[in-house]
Amino acid sequence: MKLIAKIMAVSAVVLFAACNNNEMKNPLLEESTIKYGAPQFDLIKTEHYKPAIEVALDRAYQDIKAIINNQEEPTFENTIVALNYVGEDLNRILSIMYNVKEADTNDELEQIAEDITPDLTKFEMYTSLNDTLFQKVKAVWEMRDSLNLNMEDARLLEETYKGYERNGANLPADKKEEFSKINEELSLASLKYSKNALNATNAYIMHITDSAEIAELPDFVKSAAASEAKERNLEGWVFTLQQPSMSPFMKYSTNRERKKELWMASSTKSVSGEFSNEENIRTIVDLRIKAANLLGYPTHADRTLENKMAKNRETVENFLKNLTEQTYPFAKAEIAEVQAYMNKTQEGQMMPWDFAYYSEKLKNEKFSINDELLKPYFKLDNVKNAVFALADSLYGLKFTPAPEIPGYHPDVEVFDVSDANGRHMAVLYTDFYPRASKRGGAWMTEFRGQSFSKDGKEQRPFISIVMNFTKPTETEPSLLTFYEVTTLLHEFGHALHGMLAEGKYESLNGTSVARDFVELPSQIMENWAYEPEYLQTFAKHYQTGEAIPQEYINKIVESKNYLAGYSQLRQLEYGLIDMAWHTLTEVPSEDAVTFENNVRKATAIMPIIEGTASSPTFSHIFAGGYSAGYYSYKWAEVLEADAFQMFKENGIFNKEISGKFRDCILSKGDIQDADILYRNFRGRDPQPEALMIKQGLVKK
């Protein structure tokens, strides 16, 4: 059975009462009339979610009870496979709701998510802590050697049994009740954390009415800020804490006080005040420790890492420590270079709000390259089509606009994805622009994963990629920074992992892999952005249609590793902060800001500003799936640096290599341990030094 990570359960008593009234005229409960059975977003309204979930949860309870009450001897089919299909409607509805909540939320939807959490937790705990059910699973597990299962079925059995163990099935009855309560409270705290982080981001704007304050900003920055002001019925220009708005201001503004204001607003989000996450962090950390202890683990990290590639906290801590020690001297030298450049025009120590401006100026001086110069060549539509074309070159995929399939918001475009033989592979939803109802950042998700239904019918996936790129204005289309080009490639790599999945069980397909392996398909895609052979195919000026000059391509490649040490150290710092929170054995006495800044002392290469911290809005680890797992980004970078070398050696569009990557990794999901899948592709284990070599972080 696939227990959706965000699920946490439901009261059967409430469900029965709701059934008769709620099954009628609810598009979430009716069979979809949309092509491929895609979600009926044209009909779904916020008020449909709660009654649909109540009905679906009742059905899920009946599924579970049918397995428990089955008097036949437990078998792989009547227990393990049956569990796999428990709550299909529930999983489908929750996938839709939680994904919409992230990308287009409202107060009512946030309240529904909070209201249903206790009952969802009860259902998950009822399922995972039911001793009768576990004994059936255990009985099948103990006869595994005599079942003659194929690889995929054997993996499902293994993951089902170990999943029960990891989720407390061996606990005594009183401890199971305590574990269930912890999970309920943890789910609510994470929801509150996420809500506060979004509200804090939306609560701040920097409103400028004096044109002199923005005179030196590039036209594309001023135009976007003017559009933002107009949307808010304000005069002048508005800058927000969304990255497409904030980042250009920090890079190009000479107004140091305004930059400090914006940087401080961003760096103190949810630290205190109405949307403070201080108590939510303490609650989450405390509950994770208690849950781990109940299961026999000293820390949350010990519990979480057991089924990852890294296997244990010592491996992760050594990985972060060694990479930090190697990276620190390079990062320190890079900061010193930017500081020296700043001192040519301004005395004093460089502060965090100075860095973006002076590092960008230095980059432009060293390489004569910047976002203002490059953005005209990266029109979003062109980049999107080029990403699709790359998927065609590598994997034979075709992307056909599908206006007949509705999206969840007017900004969403929908595509019918097929392979070279015309086989339908997936439905892809793209959602590119920021809005107040969408959380920040970029991500890939799915409304339905690849699987086969009970009756043997294949159900191809519904994949979504969500960004926060600069919106088109009245005078120009959406133009991407080069960083945003790599971001789109990154998330599209995740999408390929989902779209190219092959297999029977959704819980073993696509991105349902070890957290420190899941970033390999995404991060490897970023490499193509630096390949001249690829850039030449699509980078054309949005006004003249002229191809990007070879000189610019050369500069992109030359500047690839600019500030590589600094950037890597920042990522390692986030990983160290994550591990510091999740290797605790008790909640620290100090507040989150003090705790985090004590950790940062080992990596800080610029002043640590009092009252600032990332933890209060570090959603990856407090409201997402990366707790004790943020190191995964760097871990996977080692894998992708090593793997992409195979493309470099054989041709970046080499179909034999891409076919092998598809067959060994993208299509396999979690059918085997990640280290085996990687060796099947590369023919050996990854070489740890590959990342440092790729980034030029080697002693000369």
Read off the pLDDT of residues 275-290 as tens digits, 9 standing for 90 and up.
Answer: 999 999 999 999 999 9
Query: 157: helix, coil or strand?
Result: helix
Residue 147 has pLDDT above 50, yes or no: yes
The model's confidence at residue 473, banded by pLDDT at 50, 70 and 90, is: confident
Asked whether residue 614 is domain-assigned, the answer is no
Residue 413's DSSP bridge partners are 430
Q: Which residues, in sequence order, are bridge partners of residue 529?
A: none
Active site residues: 491
* Tokens coding 420: 């070279």
Write the CATH number for 104. Answer: 1.10.1370.40
> Interior CA angle at 335 toward 257 and 361, to 5°?
60
The residues near 598 (Cβ < 8 Å, ≥ 6 apart) are 590
311-320: long-range contacts, CB 8 A cutoff, minimum separation 24: 313/579, 313/583, 313/628, 316/579, 316/628, 316/631, 317/579, 317/583, 319/631, 319/634, 319/635, 320/572, 320/575, 320/576, 320/579, 320/631, 320/634
CA dist 419 → 427, 490, 511, 661 (Å): 12, 21, 20, 16
What are the pLDDT digits (tens) for 160-186? 999 999 999 999 999 999 999 999 999
Q: Quick one: average pLDDT of 530-553?
A: 97
Taking the C-alpha atoms of residue 169 and residue 173, their distance in angstroms, rounded to an integer, is: 9
Please give the pLDDT value at position 7. Answer: 37
**If DSSP states are collapsed to H, E and C, what string results for 408-472?**
CCCCCEEEEEECCCCCEEEEEEEECCCCCCCCCCCEEEEEECCEECCCCCEECCEEEEECCCCCC
pLDDT surpassing 80 at residue 684 = yes
Among 170, 194, 223, the domain boundary falls at: 170
Verify that 124 and 26 share a domain, yes or no. Answer: yes
Q: What is the DSSP letter of 51?
A: H
How many angstroms separate the CA atoms of 339 and 85, rounded? 59
Q: What is the mean pLDDT of residues 219-234?
A: 94
Spatial separation of the C-alpha atoms in residues 282 and 28, rounded to whole Å:
36
How many CB atoms lie under 10 A from the CB of residue 421? 6
Is residue 38 situated within a structural domain?
yes
Please determine, for residue 302, whether its predicted confidence score (pLDDT) is greater than 80.
yes
Q: Cβ contacts of residue 13 below 8 Å, gap of 6+?
A: none
The verdict on residue 255 lying in a domain is yes
**141 and 222 within one domain:** no
d(CA 142, CA 280): 41
Residue 602 included in any domain = no
Q: Are 249 and 217 in contact (CB under 8 A)?
A: yes
Same-domain check for residues 59 and 138: yes
Least confident of 8-17, 145-154, 449-458, 643-652: 8-17
DSSP structure string for 536-571: TTT-B-TTT-PBPPHHHHHHHHHTTTTTHHHHHHHH
Statement to judge: residues 141 and 248 lie in one domain: no
Note whether 220 and 165 are same-domain residues.
Answer: no
- Return the structure tokens found at 130: 């039911």
Q: Give the model's pLDDT for residue 3.
A: 40
Q: Could you identify the residue written with the tokens 């280290």?
A: 675
Distance of alpha carbon 561 from alpha carbon 541, whole angstroms: 25
In a domain, 75, yes or no: yes
36: CB partners within 8 A, 6+ apart: 405, 424, 427, 460, 462
As a whole number of angstroms, the distance between CA 618 and CA 482 comes to 24
Contacts of 227 (CB under 8 A, 6+ apart): 471, 473, 474
Q: What average pLDDT does the chain have?
A: 94
User: Model confidence at 27, in pLDDT bands (50, 70, 90)?
Assistant: very high
Residues 80 and 134 both lie in one domain: yes
End-of-domain residue from the set 116, 144, 170? 170
Angle in degrees, 0-180, between the axes of helices 352-367 and 243-252, rounded to the nearest 10: 70
Q: How many CB atoms lie within 10 A of CB 23?
A: 16
In a domain, 456, yes or no: yes
Does residue 418 sit in the same domain as residue 481? yes
Q: Within this chain, do residues 386 and 507 fall inside the same structural domain, yes or no?
A: yes
If asked whether residues 407 and 479 sit together in one domain, one would say: yes
**Count of CB atoms situated within 10 Å of the CB of 336:** 12
Integer Cα distance of 476 and 377 in angstroms: 12
**How many structural domains is the chain composed of?**
3
CA distance 607 to 601: 10
For residues 338-358, average pLDDT = 97
| Residue 338 within any structural domain of the chain | no
Same domain, residue pair 525 and 431: yes
Residues facing 238 on adjacent strands: 207
Whether 165 and 225 share a structural domain: no
Q: What is the mean pLDDT of residues 490-504?
A: 98
Predicted pLDDT at 440: 86
Provide mean pLDDT across the span 4-25: 37
Nearest residue to 256 via CA among 226, 224, 216: 216
Query: Exposed (0-12), middle (13-18) or buried (19+): which is 441, by Cβ within 10 Å?
Result: middle
Q: Note whether residue 691 is domain-resident.
A: no
The larger pLDDT score, comparing residue 23 to residue 143, is at 143
- 389 contacts: CB under 8 Å, gap ≥ 6: 537, 538
| Percent of the chain with pLDDT strictly greater than 70 | 96
pLDDT of residue 474: 85
| pLDDT for the residue numbered 24 | 58
Residue 452 sits at φ, ψ, to 5 deg, of -115, 140
Residue numbers of the domain that contains 17: 12-128+130-170
Give φ, ψ of 479 to 5 degrees.
Answer: -115, 135
**Same domain membership, residue 213 and residue 109:** no
> Which pLDDT belongs to residue 624?
86
The residues, ordered by sequence, that sit 6+ positions from 388 with a Cβ below 8 Å of its Cβ are 397, 399, 415
